[in-house]
Structure 1
């Protein structure tokens, strides 16, 4: 499973998401949208805000906009 988070240092919801994932021992790759290319990548994925999480599990890709714990738990297959 690959987890990517589009975020920024100033976004408190992004900080909360990363802390939540850390507490669940879920590894992720952070993509800071202060980098113009990563911001463009976010837009190309259909993201309009942060945090924006992309979860790739096998041949399935799930996108979660915002801090939606219920969807994150479902797609990460955790309680």
Structure 2
């Protein structure tokens, strides 16, 4: 499974999403879009959004911390 999370250090939903993934023992790659312009552009191109978090699970894009959708993608 390939999971990427685009976030910022001060975003409360980003922190929740990362804690949730940690609790499920899901490995993910984190991109701080406040410091990484290339990652920010990649996130915008994938999602059409500038808000965080954006979570990419095997190419499926979740905007925000949508626990039900995240569960369905990481358990499937």
- TM over 0.5, yes or no? yes
Distance 2:47 2:57 in 1: 14
- Alpha-carbon distance, 1:36 to partner: 1.1
Structure 1 vs Structure 2 CA RMSD: 1.1
Task: Give the alignment's TM-score, normalised by structure 2.
Answer: 0.91
Bigger helix fraction? 2
The residue number in structure 1 matching 2:41 is 40
Question: After the TM superposition, which segments of 4 or more aligned residues of structure 1 sit over 6 Å from their partners?
Answer: none
Task: Could you tell me which runs of 5 or more consecutive residues in structure 1 were left unpaired when the two chains were aligned.
Answer: none
Runs of at least 5 residues in structure 2 that lack an aligned partner in the other structure: none
Asked which structure has the greater CA Rg, the reply is 1
Aligned length: 74
The alpha-carbon deviation at position 37 of structure 1 amounts to 1.1
Tell me the TM-score normalized by structure 1: 0.88
Deviations 1:9-57 (A, max 9, x none): 010100010001101111000011011111111111124111000011x
